[in-house]
Amino acid sequence: MGGLLSQELGSLGQVERQQSGGLDELAAIWFDHHGKELRAAEDTYKRIKAAIAALKNPIASEFNAQVFAAFRSQRLDAGISLNTVNREHAYMRAMFNELIRLAVWKRDNPLKDLRQFKVQENELSYLTKEHIAVLLVELKKSTNPHVDLVSRICLATGARWSEAEQLQPQQIRQRLSQFARTKTGKARAVPISQGMQDEIFIHHAKHKNIGAIFAGCTGAFKEALERGSIQLPMGQLTHVLRHTFASHFMINGGNILTLQRILGHQDLKITMRYAHLAPDHLDSVRNLNPLVS
């Protein structure tokens, strides 16, 4: 009995020490016990540590909504975007939620009642057929052997750049491209043409990469855009290919639910950003308004 009581008191003492330490100590515990298993583990941890450093690593027990609200105001004044500040908010709140589940943090989540900023949704940009034609010419000119095919896989399937770039031979079967390491963690399969499947296998046989079929080629993609004088909104690069696939899918009469499955969106609201591009979107307004006799 005495041993159990001693263990319990020791555990409580450890929790108290963690809450009187800096936020960086809590972040390290979060990473060791949960964060390292996330798909984007290192990137997420890096962003959390950067936010904590910008906060000047406050004592955990003194960190609260007021402290973070003042911090994000300073970030906005310094020119940091609303989206970035909201991401930092989401990372920190999720970290505390997990620490509570791990019984490391014994208090309420300090950010649970603090709302994120509302961000006005910008219209998604996509490449026109004319842009696509120019881009494909410039991609063919690239000295990078992978960028052309990776780009065309994205345009043909709506894949994220990283999903296409990290494809392995076993993920291409029976005219299906099976994307495994996805943002949501859920695998999905998207049909491809026989011609594209053959081209992928020929490419792999030629370049003999170990593991993934392709090597990194984001820089070569950026150079192709510049040569083709194709300008994108600030902060957008390879993801324009995914937007382009989705936009043209809807323009050509595709079904929004089918598009949701192709893109792997868990929430239909995200896919609905493309709905207005459908040729019959809200078409009934012409016939059902009260001025129609």
pLDDT of residue 185: 76
**22: which strand partners?**
59
Q: Which residues contact 179 (CB under 8 A, 6 or more apart)?
A: 157, 159, 163, 167, 171, 187, 188, 189, 190, 264
The answer to whether residue 183 is catalytic is yes
pLDDT of residue 141: 97
Active-site residue, selected from the candidate residues 89, 152, 242, 248: 242
The answer to whether residue 242 is catalytic is yes
The answer to whether residue 208 is catalytic is no
Active-site residue, selected from the candidate residues 183, 203, 227, 273: 183
The domain ranges of the chain are 9-101, 129-277
Active-site residue, selected from the candidate residues 160, 188, 243, 248: 160
- Pairing of β 172-173 and β 188-191: unpaired
Radius of gyration of the chain (CA): 24
**177: which strand partners?**
172, 190
The answer to whether residue 173 is catalytic is no
The answer to whether residue 160 is catalytic is yes
pLDDT of residue 167: 95
Using the 8-state DSSP alphabet, how is residue 116 labeled? P
pLDDT values of the chain reduced to their tens digit, one per residue, 293 residues: 445 444 443 444 455 555 668 999 999 999 999 999 987 889 899 999 999 999 999 999 999 999 999 999 999 999 988 889 999 999 999 999 999 999 999 999 999 999 999 877 666 799 999 999 999 999 999 999 999 999 999 999 999 999 999 999 999 999 999 998 777 778 899 999 999 999 999 999 999 888 889 999 999 999 999 999 999 987 789 999 999 999 999 999 999 999 999 999 999 999 999 999 998 888 888 787 888 86
pLDDT of residue 123: 65
Task: Identify the CATH homologous superfamily for domain 129-277.
Answer: Intergrase catalytic core (1.10.443.10)
Active-site residue, selected from the candidate residues 47, 181, 222, 239: 239
Active-site residue, selected from the candidate residues 265, 273, 276, 286: 265
Assess contact for 65 and 114: CB atoms under 8 A.
yes
Assess contact for 131 and 85: CB atoms under 8 A.
no
